[in-house]
A and B are shown apart, each in its own frame.
Chain A
Amino acid sequence: MSIALRGVVKSYGRTTALDGLDLDVRDGEFFCLLGPSGAGKTTTLKAVAGLERPEAGTIEIDGRDMRDVEPYDRGVAMCFESYALYPHRSVYDNLVSPLRSPRHRLPPAEARDRVDTVAGLLGIGDLLDRMPGRLSNGQRQRVALGRVLVRPARAFLLDEPLSHLDAKLRQQMRAELKAIGDVRRTTTLYVTHDSVEALALGDRIGVIRDGRIVQTGTREDIWYRPYDTEVARAFGRPRINLLPGTVTEAGRFRSADGAFELPLPVRAAPGTEVLAGVRPRDVSLTGDGHRLPGTVYVTEVLGRSVEVTVRIGAQALSLVADRAEVAGLRPDDPVRPAVRPENLLLFEADRPHGPGRRIGRR
């Protein structure tokens, strides 16, 4: 099933949640909608589900205009960020609720089978008699997911389903989610503020900000060709290095304090104020590339690798290196990290009213 939103506007009182949002989700794909809180992610989902009525724009599912189609007629299943488990019903009753509804009604025995299957799949088979109030966050999340999976649906709408879980559980669930067959086969619109999650899960990713889609694309598109500095910052930990400077007559990048120059992979007008972006994992201490003179400022262990922040003039550049490579390094030790020009991203400088856009195509 495909989902298409065209110029959707929705506001609550004076605040605008969706400001002319356009979005296309193709049949069968796992689409991640990524954005900070308040960007309009949940509103988008609810608009698709029919729970919110947009003031302008159209929402189409499989090419059919959904205006005036009631939520229960849209054939979508949604998992709420709050889980929205019915607190007065047991886990089993929560799970079986869709199968008792007039729309999806199954004979009790079949419903029971179906619930057991889904519960088994999610590992919550022994919780069925409990009340939601007596479950851990992780268990609640599974129940919420189970309630989505238990019924036939043309699309899944998942709103930050993993956000309340602790890191380890989140990683595990992420893997499980993708492995569930139904999810793999069915169009899924997945909302998250976590870029790692988006990169891990999404066939395609849409970045949403202030009620509009900033960029849509595959994870490679988003990673290598971010629309602007903010999208670039949103993906990758440690964060991308954004070094301020200008473009020289020769088409090279010169840092703001003039401490170093770099060759640029794209052409830009000389004298333009720019930000040069390079991801810490693309900077190395030992590999090839354009070398920059600096001193070690601070090192931070990230498990097997180490983040090293290098001071180059007035700039700080962080890079990720193997532990072995940095074994002897102390603060103020001189180092010469290497940057490969093809890994450089060039952005317009950030302005007060918005982040700087990426310059050039590649």
Chain B
Amino acid sequence: MRKRLWGWLADAALLLYFVFALFPVAWMLILSLKPADQLFSTYFSFTPTLDAYRTVLGDDEGIPFVRFFVNSLVVSLGAVALSLVVGLPAAYASARWRFKGSEHLMFTLLSFRFAPELTVIIPLFVLYQKLGLFDTYAGMVWVLQLVTLPLVVWIMRSYFADLTPELEQAALLDGYTRRQAFFKVALPLVRPGIAAVSLLAFIFAWNNFVFPLILTSHEAQTVTVGALSFLGGDRPKYHLTAAAALISVVPPLLLALTIQRYLVRGLSFGAVKS
């Protein structure tokens, strides 16, 4: 009897947290369904409309949100892909060999993750203008490495460390080269890790705000900056921002739901075994 009471209490507590966690999202949904003139005059009873979504996806406000959406996809996927291409070998090397400077390099990489964006934003702006990277996909993909590369290297390193080296050694003795051993044996076995880290890196790249704000203007601007663009003018159009934010949740959410199982594993591996 007492046990069941505790069970109910626990469920109630959990429910309470989820109310806290989900209410703002629900509220955004409500906002996004409100007509403009009922934004502040109503709470829960209003005349629902999909106008906000039509406005955001159309170009009525002079804000090409669909283009920003595509930009975000290109830039985030590009950043994740580059991080994987560059980060996987590095993670592999640092997991498999102890060599001079590896720990320093790893830690420096990690510290990027925690570096204040403002340190680099002005130098980067100058640099990008000079190199012609300002407002380009390439420029965004490069700067987003600050966000995605440390994540990829640190989490994947743990995955590789977790994988017994004997599998690759067996491949070497089977007559494969190191490169083949890496691609045919090690890589397929850390696929869950790759899935998880890709999702995480994708989310963080997708949600980044400061870099696209300063380093893009029109061609490569992303959804975060785009969603905020609805807040100008005579009145802030919160319903449009809410709709834009909800639309921009779709890609990471789809990604997350498809590989949720991997995600939990991915986080844990990267976390503890480093």
A and B touch in the complex (CB under 8 A): yes
Interface residues of A (CB under 8 A from B): 13, 46, 49-51, 70-72, 76-78, 80, 82, 84, 86-88, 97-98, 101-104, 147, 151
Interface of A, secondary structure class, is loop
**Residues of the B chain whose Cβ atoms lie less than 8 Å from the Cβ of A147:** 170, 174
- Near A by CB (< 8 A), chain B positions 130-177 give 164, 166-167, 169-177
Contact flag A72-B173 (CB < 8 Å), given A86-B185, A88-B189? yes
Is the Cβ of A84 less than 8 Å from the Cβ of B177?
no
Is the Cβ of A46 less than 8 Å from the Cβ of B169?
yes
Is the Cβ of B175 less than 8 Å from the Cβ of A88?
no
Is the Cβ of B169 less than 8 Å from the Cβ of A49?
yes
Q: What's the nearest-Cβ distance from chain A to residue B131, in Å?
A: 41
**Residues of the B chain whose Cβ atoms lie less than 8 Å from the Cβ of A103:** 175-176
Interchain Cβ contacts under 8 Å between A and B, 30 examples: A49-B169, A49-B173, A51-B169, A51-B172, A51-B173, A70-B172, A71-B172, A72-B172, A72-B174, A72-B175, A78-B170, A80-B166, A80-B169, A82-B164, A84-B166, A84-B169, A84-B170, A86-B170, A86-B185, A88-B188, A97-B171, A98-B174, A98-B175, A101-B171, A101-B176, A102-B175, A102-B176, A103-B175, A147-B170, A151-B174
**Residues of the A chain whose Cβ atoms lie less than 8 Å from the Cβ of B166:** 80, 82, 84
Q: Could you count the A-B residue pairs with CB atoms below 8 Å apart for me: how many are there?
A: 65
**Residues of the B chain whose Cβ atoms lie less than 8 Å from the Cβ of A97:** 171, 174
Q: What's the Cα separation between A102 and B176 when bound, in Å?
A: 6
**Residues of the B chain whose Cβ atoms lie less than 8 Å from the Cβ of A82:** 164, 166
Q: What's the Cα separation between A102 and B180 when bound, in Å?
A: 10
For the complex of A and B, 9 pairs with smallest distance between CB atoms: A103-B175, A101-B175, A84-B170, A71-B172, A98-B174, A84-B166, A51-B169, A104-B175, A80-B166
Q: What's the Cα separation between A147 and B178 when bound, in Å?
A: 19
Q: Residues 174-212 of chain B: 1 if any A CB is under 8 Å from the residue's CB, otherwise 0?
A: 111110100001001100000000000000000000000
Interface residues of B (CB under 8 A from A): 98, 164, 166-167, 169-178, 180, 185, 188-189
Q: What's the Cα separation between A102 and B170 when bound, in Å?
A: 14
Interface of B, secondary structure class, is helix
**Residues of the A chain whose Cβ atoms lie less than 8 Å from the Cβ of B171:** 86, 97, 101
Is the Cβ of B174 less than 8 Å from the Cβ of A102?
no
Q: What's the Cα separation between A70 and B180 when bound, in Å?
A: 13
**Residues of the B chain whose Cβ atoms lie less than 8 Å from the Cβ of A84:** 164, 166-167, 169-170
Count chain B CB atoms within 10 A of each CB in A49, A97, A102 and give the residue with the most. Answer: A97
Q: What's the nearest-Cβ distance from chain A to residue B167, in Å?
A: 5
Nearest-neighbor residue (CB-CB) of B167 within chain A: A84
Q: What's the Cα separation between A78 and B175 when bound, in Å?
A: 11
**Residues of the A chain whose Cβ atoms lie less than 8 Å from the Cβ of B178:** 70
Nearest-neighbor residue (CB-CB) of A74 within chain B: B173
Q: What's the nearest-Cβ distance from chain A to residue B69, in Å?
A: 36
Q: What's the Cα separation between A70 and B169 when bound, in Å?
A: 11
Nearest-neighbor residue (CB-CB) of A87 within chain B: B189
Q: What's the Cα separation between A76 and B174 when bound, in Å?
A: 9
Contact flag A76-B173 (CB < 8 Å), given A84-B164, A84-B167, A86-B167? yes
Q: What's the Cα separation between A12 and B93 when bound, in Å?
A: 17
Q: What's the Cα separation between A72 and B170 when bound, in Å?
A: 10
**Residues of the A chain whose Cβ atoms lie less than 8 Å from the Cβ of B164:** 82, 84
**Residues of the B chain whose Cβ atoms lie less than 8 Å from the Cβ of A151:** 174-175
Q: What's the Cα separation between A82 and B213 when bound, in Å?
A: 52
Q: What's the Cα separation between A71 and B168 when bound, in Å?
A: 11
Q: What's the Cα separation between A97 and B173 when bound, in Å?
A: 10
Q: What's the nearest-Cβ distance from chain B to residue A262, in Å?
A: 50
Q: What's the nearest-Cβ distance from chain B to residue A53, in Å?
A: 10
**Residues of the B chain whose Cβ atoms lie less than 8 Å from the Cβ of A51:** 169, 172-173
**Residues of the A chain whose Cβ atoms lie less than 8 Å from the Cβ of B189:** 87-88
Q: What's the Cα separation between A147 and B180 when bound, in Å?
A: 18
Q: What's the nearest-Cβ distance from chain B to residue A166, in Å?
A: 23
Nearest-neighbor residue (CB-CB) of B98 within chain A: A13
Is the Cβ of B167 less than 8 Å from the Cβ of A71?
no
Q: What's the Cα separation between A303 and B189 when bound, in Å?
A: 47
Q: What's the Cα separation between A200 and B100 when bound, in Å?
A: 46
Given pairs A50-B172, A102-B177, 8 additional interface contacts (CB within 8 A): A72-B173, A72-B176, A72-B177, A77-B173, A78-B169, A80-B170, A86-B171, A102-B176
**Residues of the A chain whose Cβ atoms lie less than 8 Å from the Cβ of B175:** 72, 98, 101-104, 151
Q: What's the nearest-Cβ distance from chain B to residue A11, in Å?
A: 12
Nearest-neighbor residue (CB-CB) of B170 within chain A: A84
Q: What's the nearest-Cβ distance from chain B to residue A152, in Å?
A: 10
Q: What's the nearest-Cβ distance from chain A to residue B93, in Å?
A: 15
